[in-house]
Amino acid sequence: MNALNPVGEKFDPNRHQAVSMVDGASRDPAVPPNHVVEVMQKGYLIGERVIRPALVIVSAP
């Protein structure tokens, strides 16, 4: 079993569950829109199968 740590990755609804959106420029200007800025709860994979999606905060477009 592998933990997901998707900070900085592009939001993927198959692996992530967005719980909030924030203005990415206010947190980190280097984070592009629709990318994960913070993980609220880790997600888990077994192989390529998602056991639990990561609960994340995403930068607004």
Q: Which domain holds residue 16?
A: 2-59
CATH of the domain at 37: 2.30.22.10
- Give the distance, in angstroms, between the CA of residue 13 and the centroid of all CA atoms in the same chain: 9
Q: How many domains does the chain have?
A: 1
pLDDT of 30 reads 76
Query: 3-state DSSP: the chain helix, strand, coil percent, rounded to 5?
Result: 5, 50, 40
Give the residue, 4 or 29, on which the prediction is more confident. 4
For the stretch 9-19, pLDDT in tens is 999 999 999 99
pTM for the whole structure? 0.85
Q: What is the arithmetic mean of pLDDT over 30-38?
A: 89
Asked if pLDDT for residue 2 goes beyond 90, the answer is yes
